[in-house]
Structure 1
Amino acid sequence: MIKHREISENMVKLVVLCPLLTWTDFYHLPFDVVDEQSIEVTVQDQEEVVRGRLDIMVLKDHLWLLVIESKNAGLSLLNGIPQALAYMVANPRPDQPILGLVTNGSELIFVKLVQQNTPKYALSEPFSLLKRENELYNVLSILKKFSQLMTD
């Protein structure tokens, strides 16, 4: 039996997310990629402050476009969705919709948040890299289209 260490969140970013950001031109102008950004969210009804570190954020002209949350391999995507949404709520431009992406290295899911009036979010179907027909190309296609829309 061969034993492997758990694949860390940083390794997921390195192996899965960095190539995706490269292939979709998010590392090129007019985009700006920021990693490990500290975010603080205050809950209005309570005096609770949630602090965390946003894994990766893609900006254009100080407008948050894409928030990416990665988790250790083996963890469910459900562990990252609330965290990604908390970061997305901290968007300084709540009048603009924001896209999120959560991954554990083998699965990815998109999150869209619209905050006008009442915040609402929607989730895509999960994409899996473990299927016979690897869905990484679908994720790449979505990110590439999003990148192109934001530069037009």
Structure 2
Amino acid sequence: FWNAIEHPPLQEKAIQICVLGPLLLLADFQLPPFHMKVEHSVEITAEDNDIPVRGQIDILVLSDGFWVLVIESKESSFSIEVGLAQILSYMLAQPDRAQPAFGLIASGGSFVFLKLVRGEVNRYALSRVFEVRNPGNDLYDVLAVLKRFACFPNLDIS
């Protein structure tokens, strides 16, 4: 990661390879019962005007058809805020409306987790922003959160 940072720009695909790939491996998302889809196409329709919005989820982690985690990566020079509306729209496309949807935005050395609860009024919450450059390196905390998601069958997701 540090080598990639020293040779900007650190673009979306490089973040997926240098940062997200190793994190997902260490969090056991590349082992059963999980599998990943890359560039997964989704479509949602706005309820008020029936205009479909199409997009591609960068990385989708699934377990037995359940969307465990939606991941959106952004170029390191972009703010986390750039991906917020995009990932929320993808999370709204989760087929199981009864379950909360979880997401992660990764922008180089910055990470933020999201939770979306569907209802009459959809609600979402954000974690704090985890920064690799913070003293103590928040990357360990990001890995710890991902490992909690990997315990999905035993995880209380409410």
Residues 30 and 151 in structure 1, CA contact (< 8 A), matched pair in contact too? no
Counterpart pick for 1:37 among 24, 36, 40: 40
Q: Does 1:136 align with 2:139?
A: yes
Q: Would you identify which runs of 4 or more consecutive aligned residues in structure 1 move more than 2 Å?
A: none
Task: Give the corresponding residue for 2:80.
Answer: 77
| Alpha-carbon distance, 1:118 to partner | 2.0
TM-score (norm 2): 0.90
| Alpha-carbon distance, 1:46 to partner | 1.4
- RMSD across aligned positions (CA): 1.3
Structure 2 residue runs without a partner (length 5+): 1-5
Task: Give the corresponding residue for 2:20.
Answer: 17
Identity %, equivalent residues: 41
Query: How many equivalent pairs are there?
Result: 149
Task: Give the corresponding residue for 1:117.
Answer: 120
| Alpha-carbon distance, 1:32 to partner | 1.1
3-state secondary structure, aligned to 1:46: coil
Q: Which amino acid aligns with 2:38?
A: D
Distance 1:118 1:61 in 2: 28
Distance 1:104 1:55 in 2: 12
Structure 1 residue runs without a partner (length 5+): none
TM-score (norm 1): 0.93
Distance 2:136 2:7 in 1: 25
Q: Which amino acid aligns with 2:9?
A: E
| Alpha-carbon distance, 1:48 to partner | 2.1
Task: Give the corresponding residue for 1:66.
Answer: 69
